[in-house]
Amino acid sequence: MRDDENNNESHNKNRLRIETTLEATEAYTGAVDVDVGNLLVSETSVLEREKFSLTVGSLTREERDENIKAHARDVLQRLVSDLFALPSESDVNGRFALLPPGETKFPRSLPLPSMEKPKTKWEQFAEEKGIKKRKRSKMVFDEQQDEWKRRHGYDRAKDSTKIAIVEAKLSSRAGQTEDPFLKERKDKKARVEKNEMQRRRNLGEQVKEKGAAALPATLRLAIGAGSNNNSSGGGGKKGGDNGGGVGAKSLKSKQLVKDVQYKVATSTASVGKFNAPIPGDEKIKARGKRRSFASNTDDKNTKAQEKAFVEKLIKREKSKKTSEGVDVGLAAKKMQKEQETEKREGKKQKLMSKNKKKK
Amino acid sequence: MVAAVSISAPETNTNDSSRNISQTHHLAVKAAKTNKGKRAIEKNAPRRKEVAAKTLMLLHGAVTSEVLKSLINDLSQMKYGENHKMNRKNPGIRPFEGGGEVSLEFFAEKSHSATFAFANHQKKKRPHAITFGRFYNHKIYDCVEMMVNGETFVPIIKFGNAAASTTIGSKPCMMFLGDKFETDANLRQLKNVFADVFRGRVVSRINLKGIDRAIVITALEDGKTILFRQFAIKYKKSGTRLPKVHLEEMGPRFDATLGRVKLPPPDVEREAMRVDKTLVKEEKANALSQGISDKVGKIYVHKQTEGLDEINRRKSLKGGLKKKEK
């Protein structure tokens, strides 16, 4: 649309060369919007009525279709001439025209990812101190093995875990001598764990700052999880079950131990009822729903129990309503009642005062 | 494919985290467990520059017709490799009504589709209605409805061997004929929707032989009738270096009346039209690139007549110059 002028300009420039070819190929000569990048042409002049309108004259459908075809051919010729005028490169498969980017604007299908990647703690520190990344070679010469090896990763140079002989101090106390190989393995493990912890901490900080969008696509927040300000995550109960809730890891392991304890304690012939008393056992409780049934024979307490049950139900329903939001009907009723009482009282007082005056 | 990994981000000190859970910032993150799973996720993740073709989801409403079934089949053929066709009826889908888009959007997310064609036949109210539309972030962005004239519909199969010369899944040319595509807001939207649906993937180069089909959409003067045609392109010698184009209709062919149109909400539109600024190269002023290696620059040079001005003012000289010209 906007580029019509540009295209015309380019046509005018090459006029001498193209005009002949356009004529030879019987291309459409009117104004045309060509978006070569999208192979899109729009010919937006008013259509000739005699050629396209069935209501005018005695045009048949078949004739109109022929007209469309003929007109489309002429317009298409313009696109083709533009395409063939583009710079191209040849290949085994033929000639490829190098397309410019499309000019028509289309909406994205997914949101634009955030441009700024949140900085890790190290990156922040490096920026503060003015530390810049230096490019280091991938390969390093390993003097011990006398060959070039990778700086990091598998089969790396100076692999501390693969040194055959290490000097070690013998402790004066028996059994206290430290195994240097074991120490190295432990240290390595600790380093890996520390790095993992730092990675997690960085991710956590990023999510806290920028929300879930800060995470890369391959990571996403689990259902029921969220940052501190996201309280609707359903935390508590669910967290224990699927291990994805608030403070999942520590809670989960604790809960798992408790679950196993409960299972063991109840895995007797009496389902744990007549176990020999073990200290601390009374604290073991099952998770989840427990159903208690009202007695069928106890007549004394049935009425009271039933009443309590009904009251409990009512209470629950009421609390549901309030937690979900305002019950509009109820609120309106209340307001109306209040207004009515106010009115009534106002009238009463007026009457009273009148009566007083009369007296 | 995914495993739960819990991430704890203590606010102050790591040692305190286990003691006081309420003060620490905890979140659970699901991470891709295998490389294959990771790749699958990354494939459909948002990108700075969207190059892949928008998948067209094809589906039917509560009631469908033979015409629509056939048209949907043809559309799947036109969008070969870039469509997701569904065969069941979907009574709950009404793209233009509130709440009617829920399952449509759900399917879009599941099938990673960014466009859809929804066929629904209401015999009296909206016969042979087909709705084309787009999604932004798996939510309906815009949609355009049209009622296909059943009598005029001719499927691809009826055109015989015409489509044989085209490559399946090739990138089509698109032509929009008629001033209504410029003047009418609804038709302008329709043009953009159609262009987006059929344009396929974004390419930087194209095989000139591979340009073998053209979709031609005509908007008549009434501002309501749309004529949809597809032609196979054949090249013939013209005597110049430019080949002469020859068209052969390959179908589908249908005439349709424009129905309801839903334009994108302005704020969503602004969001969806965002372009990554880092990807747009700033054009240098006065520099034109012609082809791969040539670069033509324009240089501004001051007027060179400063010295001449004084000379020109002299009457004697002026007259002399005039005389010479004559």
pLDDT tens across B223-260, in order? 999 999 999 999 998 888 889 999 999 989 999 999 99
B199·A208 Cβ contact <8 A: no
Across the range A53-60, mean pLDDT stands at 82
Across the range A281-288, mean pLDDT stands at 67
Minimum-distance CB partner of B29 among A109, A215, A245: A215
Given its phi and psi angles, is residue B49 left (phi above 0), alpha (psi -120 to 50 degrees) or beta?
Answer: beta
- Could you tell me which of A107, A15, A235, A194 has the C-alpha nearest to residue B27? A235
Residue A141: in which H helix or E strand, if any? strand A139-142
| Residue A82 confidence (pLDDT) | 92
Beta bridge partners of B56: B83, B115
| Residue B286 confidence (pLDDT) | 67
User: Which residue in A104, A218, A223, A229 has the most chain B C-beta atoms within 10 A of its own C-beta, making it the best mutation to test that interface?
Assistant: A218
Please, which pLDDT band fits residue B282 given cuts at 50, 70 and 90? Answer: low
Beta bridge partners of B248: B232
Across the range B192-220, mean pLDDT stands at 94
User: Which residue in A39, A62, A91 has the most chain B C-beta atoms within 10 A of its own C-beta, making it the best mutation to test that interface?
Assistant: A39
Whether A175 is covered by a domain: the verdict is no
Whether A359 is covered by a domain: the verdict is no
Looking at A71, A97, A123, the residue that finishes a domain is: A97
Is the per-residue pLDDT at B220 higher than 50? yes
Q: Which fold has domain B56-272?
A: Rossmann fold (3.40.50)
Same domain assignment for residues A87 and A39: yes
B29·A221 Cβ contact <8 A: yes
Whether A240 is covered by a domain: the verdict is no
Whether A235 is covered by a domain: the verdict is no
Across the range A231-243, mean pLDDT stands at 36
Minimum-distance CB partner of B245 among A42, A80, A87: A80
Domain-wise residue ranges, chain B: 2-43, 56-272
Could you report how far apart the first and last alpha carbons of chain B are, in Å? 90
**For residue A199, what are the contacts with CB-CB under 8 A and spacing of at least 6?**
none
Is the per-residue pLDDT at A89 higher than 60? yes
Whether A290 is covered by a domain: the verdict is no
Whether A39 is covered by a domain: the verdict is yes
- Strand B56-60 versus strand B115-122 pairing type: parallel
Whether A132 is covered by a domain: the verdict is no
Please, which pLDDT band fits residue B316 given cuts at 50, 70 and 90? Answer: low
Same domain assignment for residues A149 and A77: no
A218·B41 Cβ contact <8 A: yes
User: Which structural domain range is residue A276 located in?
Assistant: 247-285
Worst-scoring range by mean pLDDT, A59-63, A70-74, A225-229, B148-152? A225-229
Nearest CA in chain A to B244: A25
* A179/A163 Cα distance (integer angstroms): 13
User: Which residue in A14, A112, A195, A209 has the most chain B C-beta atoms within 10 A of its own C-beta, making it the best mutation to test that interface?
Assistant: A112
Is A284 exposed, middle or buried, given 0-12, 13-18 or 19+ CB atoms closer than 10 A? middle
Across the range B304-311, mean pLDDT stands at 60
Same domain assignment for residues A86 and A159: no
* B200/B209 Cα distance (integer angstroms): 17
Tell me the backbone φ, ψ of residue A4, rounded to 5 degrees. Answer: -60, -45
A68·B24 Cβ contact <8 A: no
Worst-scoring range by mean pLDDT, A1-5, B70-74, B103-107, B314-318? A1-5
A76·B243 Cβ contact <8 A: no
Whether the bond into B252 is cis, omega within 30 of 0:
yes
Q: Give the angle subtended at the CA of B211 by the CAs of B209 and B212, to the nearest 5°.
A: 95
* B117/B111 Cα distance (integer angstroms): 14
Same domain assignment for residues A207 and A253: no
Across the range A203-232, mean pLDDT stands at 65
Q: Is 0.90 exceeded by the ipTM?
A: no
Whether A71 is covered by a domain: the verdict is yes
| Residue B14 confidence (pLDDT) | 38
Domain count, chain A: 4
Kindly provide the residue ranges of all beta strands, DSSP E only, lying in B10-55, ordered along the sequence.
Answer: 25-32
B206·A242 Cβ contact <8 A: no
